[in-house]
Amino acid sequence: MPRKRPSRLRARSAQPATTVIPGVPLATSGALDRLDRPEIRSLEVKRALEIWQRVASLPRAELSAPHNDWTEFIGPMARDDLERAVRALPRKQAAPLRAVVERADEMFRAKTLHNPRIDPSRPWWARRWWV
């Protein structure tokens, strides 16, 4: 049986191209892809950031609508994904992503209030009242 050349064994499988995340350096996007965690690849983080920014930019009246999937499920899940990505990266590479996320966080905080009745072990974005 013929022997495989070492270069064929070392060849990496084709990885998808690094996705550009608006406001974040390409080095940070590349670092996300090198983590080898499919749930926090640059494409997934870009989608989560777009969702979180959309939720944060919703008008206050729309945020406070009852049974609102954007504010009860979709937004908090996207923010959870962003938090996982920021925590997985080294501090220096996470800084630009954290800055972009914090801008959306500030918009979201301005339109909501802290809910003291929700379990304090949950993240701050899951303990907000839509006022």
Helix residue ranges, H only, the chain: 6-10, 26-34, 42-57, 60-63, 69, 75-88, 91-111
Mean pLDDT of 11-30: 84
More confident residue, 63 or 3: 63
If you search the block for the tokens 């499919």, which residue do you land on? 38
For residues 87-99, b (16+ Cβ closer than 10 Å) or e, as one string? ebbeeebbebbbe
> Is pLDDT at 113 greater than 70 in this prediction?
yes
DSSP bridge pairs for 129: 113
What distance in Å separates the CA atoms of residue 109 and residue 114, rounded to the nearest whole number? 9
DSSP bridge pairs for 114: 128
Reported as a single tens digit per residue, the pLDDT across 82-95 is 999 999 999 999 99
Q: How confident is the model at residue 104 (pLDDT cuts 50, 70, 90)?
A: very high
